[in-house]
Amino acid sequence: MHTKFRALSLSHKTAPVQIRELISLDEESIHRILLKLKEFFSLGDALILSTCNRTEVYYSHELDLSTEIIKLIGLEKGLSDVINYLEYFEVFNKDRQAISHLFRVAIGLEAQVVGDIQISNQVKRAYQTAADLDMAGPFLHRLMHTIFFTNKRIVQETAFRDGAASLSYATIELIDSLTSNIYQPRVLLIGVGEIGEDVAKNMVHLPEAKVKITNRTQSKAEDIAGPMGFEVVPFEDCRQAMKEADVIICSIMRNEPFITKELVQQFDIQSYKLLVDLSVPRSIETSVEDVPGVVLYNVDNIRSKASEALEKRLAAIPKVEDIIDESIEEFYSWKKEMMVSPTINKLKQSLEQIRQEELARFLKKADQKEFDLIDKITKSMMQKILKVPVVQLRAACKRDEAEEMIEIISDIFDLEKVKIEK
């Protein structure tokens, strides 16, 4: 049975935030699931990507393991009814579909904000995790490096990454539009993880805002706030800072909501207070909107305005897709060569073994000159004999009939008994 590259994906396109936050995986969970996949299914190629917008598993196997993998996720997350969430997963069981999807995700075509640079870094980290756990074989290594090279081409040859249009920048654009009538809006950023840090860096686009940052690890908040001239608030003083802020951006990892309706009701809201929840799982209770003057946005309903940068990115998509198609074709050429090369090597070794045996049998009394001549002739003959099956194998690859041709040649030359020398 032929090994295929496969994928299953739960994303902002297939599932609402309340489902995504149930399925989302932290780094330790990813490690445990990868090791279970290795132990239970002997996977050599597997990669797990989990962000605020998607949880995806990519793997190579003869069988569709999507149901088993979802059950493993459910076991890890303590979800006894995880099978009920199958409908939210998109399954890619064809090589080209799965490969194309990974390209599109890694490049940013599938991002909530098209071209988001964060996803490229997240994919790199997911690949590094797989490599660290010895879950990346030659196929996945080659595929990922092809994707990284494609990413560089897109940066160099298109406007797809021009300007700032990430989810973080979309948040800044939202704040800018909703605080346009406030003089020096007071902004509090809670949590400086990956997204929080990116939001902080994009605050340069809010030059009038008075920004405060708080984080459980104060030293990290100080490292980020210092170069930007932002004030750092000790985490234990966070509640008072929330009361004073016009805008609260929350980007922290918690199993329970950090900002509750009960807490917000204690705030003295003069006009309105904007709350932005960038956490998955969500860290702000949705019921806070029941409090007069509170406006709440989460990762699902933040939308970037039609900025010039975003328009350029959208216009660049056809060129980006052409580059991706070229890269996939190049990768497939390598993949096909990889598929038939063991058979070609076995055939070469089988014929060489026969040649050596016959030379030893008939040239025992030959002098060196005679031996060299016959050795040269038989080598040439072997190359000509090899030429036809090798050409046929490569032609079969192009017709996607390599498996059948490999089987025929293996049977004719009895290659199953031949071990490839290392």
Sheet holding 54-61, edge to edge: 46-50, 54-61, 4-11, 90-92
Question: Residue 336 and residue 95: Cα distance in Å, rounded?
Answer: 12
Q: Are 70 and 89 in contact (CB under 8 A)?
A: yes
Q: Are 66 and 89 in contact (CB under 8 A)?
A: yes
Closest by CA position to 345, among listed 419, 257, 258, 282: 419
Torsion sign (Cα): 379, 380, 386, 391: positive
Instruction: Report the interhelical angle of 402-413 vs 368-398 (nearest 10°).
Output: 150
Is residue 238 part of the annotated active site? The answer reads: no
The pairing of strands 186-190 and 46-50 is unpaired
Q: CB 292: neighbour CB atoms within 10 A?
A: 8
Q: Can you tell me which residue has the tokens 């989460």?
A: 298
Choice among 52, 238, 250, 397 that is catalytic: 52
Residue 259 DSSP label: B
Q: Are 30 and 129 in contact (CB under 8 A)?
A: yes
Question: Residue 58 and residue 384: Cα distance in Å, rounded?
Answer: 42
Catalytic residue positions?
52
